[in-house]
Amino acid sequence: MGLPSAFVDALRRDFPDDFSTADPGELAVYGRDATKVYQPAPSLLCRPRSTEEVARLMALCDAHRVGVVPSGGRTGLAGGAVAANGELVLSLERMRRMDPVDTLGLTVRVQAGAITEEVHRHCEALGLTWPVDFASKGSSQVGGNIATNAGGVKVIRYGLTRHWVLGLEVVTATGEVLELGGALEKNNTGVDLRQLFIGSEGILGVITAATLKLVRLPGALDVFLFALSDLAAVLALFAAARRGPFTVSAFEFFSDRCMARLKRHRHIEPPFPEPSPYYVLLEVESGTHGDDAEVAAERDQLDDWLAELVEDELIGDGVLAQSKAQARALWELREGISESLSATGMPHKNDVALPIAGLAPFCIDLEELFASEYPDWEICLFGHIGDGNLHVNVMKPDGLDDAEFHTRTHEADAALFELIRRHRGSVSAEHGIGLLKRPWLGFSRSPAELALMRGIKQALDPHGILNPGKVLG
């Protein structure tokens, strides 16, 4: 699909020479996200340096009805940043400014292209952090984190991204710049428009900057790895951790199949002599900030808690990291899973959520479904038990060609999402809907909810140019 000549002429006349490119190599890179399912076919890539340039570009695109796909770090897994139908890709990567940290208000304003990990480093020197954390933090961008309401490994401690955004700067489809919230902790003046854009996947506006809430860096952290016999034991351990003498900052689980793929790809040996069906990585804030006597008392409480786990036979084995290096090595087991699955086969990924209390019965039904209908498929499960988020990865059997696998996984998804609907879960926990989950959105949202969302989309983007085809179609 070619761009209107009048649009191209205005772009060349009114913007810098390096503002846009139609280089095929760059279009191929920027036209896709981590989904790798769709063929990118953008018409143009634009890389603004300021909100003013974004606003002028959006007004021009709206006038000429040019579709726009906002692009961040492109780490999403739902096709939300894919430009497959001749759209213009709007990359925020040049907009990476981070303002000085406000140490009194505990906030920092950053542009949307700021890398998540760089924001962490920007704040760490002052003993602060933006507590949004996940494996892709080295390449994901703040604007994308907010647009997808990203979760990650610390949701159990800090909640979702939306809890850590005070203010937003957003450019609408028609080029109007909205300042929403600023640095106000309290602003009870009607509908919170800021929350409309958080998690909206770029279909309502382009996030160009944000004022982020910060929190003090946690104190001493203890990292454990436990080996467990079944999912019931995983959930029992979670319940015990909730009652433990500490604050849980992460509770991650993964199956023995994930561990086997890690060993094949990264040649990592688990710290246990025998394999187990499930593993849990537990990170806790022990709160050891007092004098020697207080620290000793806290360690005694922790030892008592561990002894109780052994006594109640909740765990098969366990290890506590004795140094930062050992803690990092244990975290590598969890954070290296996605890469290892892709490096050792072809995974079909699903990111779903269930009520925490319903995880065990859901997983039993899931195993029965695949054992009955797809007995030769390997399922690799991992996720953030503390927030009900499961990553269901189905590995392509060696004897099945790629096209047949994609066809059959579409059929399997229908059965999986019907199972999720029965268990009152969500078809997408943290990667959004994008293109990939759009056919299944009605499994988690009612007709009335969908009608309201379409009305909001029509009001904010009357010509449907923003991320066309995503979420609502």
Torsions phi, psi of 68, nearest 5? -125, 130
221-337 and 345-431, same CATH topology: yes
Note the pLDDT of residue 289: 55
Q: Give residue 384's pLDDT.
A: 87
Domain ranges (residues) in the chain:
107-216, 221-337, 345-431
Give domain 221-337's CATH number out of 3.90.480.10, 3.30.70.2190, 3.30.1330.30, 3.40.47.10. 3.30.70.2190
The whole-number pLDDT of residue 292 equals: 66
For residues 349 and 252, what is the distance between their CA atoms, to the nearest angstrom? 17
pLDDT of the chain, 473 residues: tens digit per residue: 589 999 999 999 999 999 999 999 999 999 999 887 888 999 999 999 999 999 999 999 999 999 999 999 998 888 999 999 999 999 999 999 999 999 999 999 999 999 999 999 999 999 999 999 887 888 899 999 999 998 878 888 999 999 999 999 999 999 999 999 888 888 888 999 999 999 999 999 999 999 999 999 988 899 999 999 988 899 899 999 999 988 999 999 999 999 999 999 999 888 999 999 999 999 998 765 556 677 777 788 888 888 888 888 889 899 999 999 999 999 999 989 999 999 999 999 998 999 988 888 998 899 899 999 999 899 999 988 878 889 999 999 998 999 999 899 989 999 999 999 999 999 998 888 999 899 999 999 999 999 999 999 999 999 999 999 999 97
pLDDT, tens digit (0-9, with 9 covering 90-100), for 80-94: 999 999 999 999 999
Cβ partners under 8 Å of residue 221, min gap 6: 249, 283, 284, 285, 286, 327
In whole angstroms, give the CA distance from residue 349 to residue 365: 18
For residue 68, what are the CA distances in angstroms to 5, 59, 361? 17, 11, 42
Could you report the per-residue pLDDT of 334-368, keeping only the tens digit for each?
989 999 999 999 999 998 999 988 888 998 899 89
Q: End-to-end alpha-carbon separation of the chain, Å? A: 19
Closest C-alpha to 285, from 234, 241, 325, 329: 241
**Are β-strands 378-384 and 247-255 bridged in parallel, bridged antiparallel, or unpaired?**
antiparallel
Span 107-216 CATH architecture: 2-Layer Sandwich (3.30)
Q: One-letter amino acid identity for 268?
A: I
For 117, what's the count of Cα atoms within 13 Å in the CB-facing half-sphere? Answer: 8
Q: Strands (DSSP E) along 322-410, which ranges?
A: 347-353, 378-384, 389-395
- What are the backbone angles phi and psi of residue 469, rounded to the nearest 5°? 85, -10
With contact defined as beta carbons under 8 Å apart, do 393 and 342 qualify? no
Q: Looking at the structure, give the CATH architecture of the domain made up of residues 345-431.
A: 2-Layer Sandwich (3.30)
Q: Write out the E strands in 290-429.
A: 317-320, 347-353, 378-384, 389-395
Instruction: Take residue 184 and report the two structure tokens written for it.
Output: 């106000």
List, in sequence order, every beta strand (DSSP E) within 201-316. 206-213, 215-216, 221-228, 247-255, 278-285
Helix H segments across 231-283?
Answer: 231-242, 256-266
pLDDT at 290: 57
Q: What is the pTM of this model?
A: 0.90
Beta bridge partners of 57: none
CA atoms within 13 A on the CB side of 179: 5
Q: How far apart are CA 215 and CA 173, in angstroms?
A: 33
- On whether the CB atoms of residues 187 and 181 are closer than 8 A, the answer is yes
Angstrom distance (rounded) from CA 311 to CA 331: 26
Question: How many alpha carbons lie under 13 Å from residue 120 in its C-beta half-sphere?
Answer: 14
Rounded distance between C-alpha atoms, residue 147 and residue 263, angstroms: 35
